[in-house]
Amino acid sequence: KSVEKASETLKLCMNVCSKQRRHVTLTQNIGKMVKKTNYDAYTI
């Protein structure tokens, strides 16, 4: 069931992404949703 739900969510995301027409790849969008920005990486 969780796999079916994930595929439905992915289809929904693909529809939204195609409507938005942003110049960001799908993997980058998923990466942004999955992990938050690590601001410690920007510190020296």
Which is nearest to 9 in space by CA: 35, 29, 38?
29
| Res. 14 pLDDT band, cuts 50 70 90 | confident
Decide: 11 and 27 in contact? Cβ < 8 Å.
no
Decide: 7 and 15 in contact? Cβ < 8 Å.
no
pLDDT, tens only, 22-36: 556 666 666 666 666
Q: What is the mean pLDDT of the chain?
A: 70
- Is the pLDDT higher at 22 or at 38? 38
Q: How many domains does the chain have?
A: 1
- Is the pLDDT higher at 10 or at 23? 10
Q: 27: which 2 tokens?
A: 């993997």
The pLDDT of residue 1 is 76
Q: Is the pLDDT of residue 18 over 60?
A: yes
Print the domain residue range for 27.
Answer: 2-42
As to burial, measured by CB atoms within 10 angstroms (0-12 exposed, 13-18 middle, 19+ buried), residue 29 is middle
Decide: 13 and 30 in contact? Cβ < 8 Å.
yes
